[in-house]
């Protein structure tokens, strides 16, 4: 039990050190505010030397850890190559922190009008949604409650993978070139968000066939306004159509919250919103215009409205 406790304590210490080094690295690269703490001025070669000294200290007696290469910083290659060195994990922590900062900095609007879900694996699965519960019936005194009859609806969904890799050379570490590691990871994080955004737009701009065999936007679904130019009147018509949407025979009371438009309709969208929210026509809640350049790839005339996904 004591050995397990010592191991756990060491793992916690290593994780804390990785976090400190990663925080200092992204700050030195200019991605965050200045970091004041351990390793704030420590170079990558010095960190590699420290990790290798720890490996040497833990090595069994009589084991000779030969240096790789020669020169004042030849320990860098050994710190990277040795299986018990913490240096590769430190480099990974720096890259991961920078990539997450890149994700946060990505100028993407799809999180506003989408809702995050989860899947356990990469197998095709049915993304199921429960239909709205109808009005509850009255219950007389001492009478039994009736069972709810719930219907579900959904579409087939499957996880995908996007990604790439890049190399960080020994020379870059020796030169303490944080820009190569941190800025590349930061850019990769932004690219990851753009990849997701591209998939989100494709999921509705292509008007796919849904689980009921009908396309997403169709008269049968009551969500298609044919030939409507974007203006105050068509926005009001869309608001009414959305409010009339039903689930299990019950109106769900959805309110128009976002207008999603291609770039050439941006001015029309803002003008329509200003007109709809004038004193003569005060609609609530106010609409937010989202300009989505990727829509230009599909149509420069189609525009979309959606309710708040969290409502």
8-state DSSP, 215: B
- Give, to the nearest 10 degrees, the angle between helix 2-28 and helix 87-105: 50
Rounded CA gap, 104 and 193, in Å?
9
Lowest mean pLDDT among 62-71, 243-252, 264-273: 62-71
Q: How confident is the model at residue 98 (pLDDT cuts 50, 70, 90)?
A: very high
Is residue 165 pLDDT above 50, yes or no?
yes
Please state the separation of Cα 160 from the chain's center in Å: 14
Higher pLDDT, 107 or 8: 107
Q: Cα–Cα distances in Å, from 99 out to 42, 92, 185, 190, 198?
A: 21, 10, 5, 7, 19
Task: Give the pair of three-digit tokens for residue 146.
Answer: 């009736």
Most confident of 5-9, 82-86, 305-309: 305-309
Q: CA 90, 49, 51, 79 torsion: positive or negative?
A: positive
Q: What is the mean pLDDT of the chain?
A: 81
Q: Where in the chain are the domains?
A: 2-107+164-197, 219-307
Q: Specify the pLDDT at position 296.
A: 95
Would you mind telling me the total number of residues written for the chain in this entry?
311
Residues 40-63 pLDDT 10s: 888 888 888 888 777 777 666 655
Q: How confident is the model at residue 69 (pLDDT cuts 50, 70, 90)?
A: very low
Q: Taking residues 144-159, report their average pLDDT.
A: 73
Rounded CA gap, 291 and 127, in Å?
28
Q: Cα–Cα distances in Å, from 217 out to 24, 118, 271, 291, 304?
A: 50, 25, 25, 20, 10
- Give, to the nearest 10 degrees, the angle between helix 184-205 and helix 87-105: 50
Q: Specify the pLDDT at position 217.
A: 93
Is residue 153 pLDDT above 50, yes or no?
yes
Q: Specify the pLDDT at position 80.
A: 54
- Do the Cβ atoms of 259 and 289 come closer than 8 Å? yes
Q: How confident is the model at residue 281 (pLDDT cuts 50, 70, 90)?
A: low
Q: How confident is the model at residue 218 (pLDDT cuts 50, 70, 90)?
A: very high
């Amino acid at each position: 039990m004591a050995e397990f406790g010592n191991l756990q304590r060491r793992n916690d210490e290593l994780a804390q050190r990785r976090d400190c080094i990663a925080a200092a690295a992204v700050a030195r690269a200019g991605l965050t505010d200045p970091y004041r703490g351990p390793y704030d001025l420590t170079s990558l070669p010095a960190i590699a030397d420290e990790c290798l000294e720890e490996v040497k200290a833990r090595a069994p007696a009589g084991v000779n850890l030969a240096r790789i290469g020669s020169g004042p910083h030849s320990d860098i290659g050994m710190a990277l190559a040795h299986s018990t060195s913490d240096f590769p994990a430190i480099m990974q922590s720096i890259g991961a922190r920078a990539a997450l900062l890149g994700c946060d900095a990505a100028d993407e609007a799809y999180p506003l009008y989408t809702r995050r879900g989860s899947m356990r694996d990469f197998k095709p699965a049915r993304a199921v949604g429960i239909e709205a519960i109808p009005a509850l019936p009255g219950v007389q005194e001492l009478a039994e409650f009736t069972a709810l009859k719930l219907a579900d609806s959904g579409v087939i969904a499957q996880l995908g993978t996007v990604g790439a890799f890049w190399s960080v050379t020994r020379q870059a570490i020796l030169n303490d070139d944080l820009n190569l590691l941190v800025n590349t990871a930061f850019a990769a994080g932004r690219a990851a968000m753009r990849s997701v955004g591209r998939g989100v737009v494709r999921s509705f701009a292509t008007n796919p066939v849904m689980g009921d065999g009908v396309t997403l936007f169709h008269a049968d679904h009551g969500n298609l306004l044919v030939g409507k130019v974007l203006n105050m009147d068509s926005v009001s018509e869309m608001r009414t159509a959305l409010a009339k949407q039903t689930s299990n025979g019950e109106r769900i009371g959805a309110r128009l919250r976002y207008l999603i438009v291609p770039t050439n309709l941006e001015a029309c969208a803002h003008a329509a919103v200003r007109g709809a929210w004038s004193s003569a026509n005060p609609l609530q809640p106010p609409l937010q215009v989202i300009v989505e350049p990727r829509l230009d790839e599909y149509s420069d005339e189609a525009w979309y409205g959606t309710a708040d996904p969290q409502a």
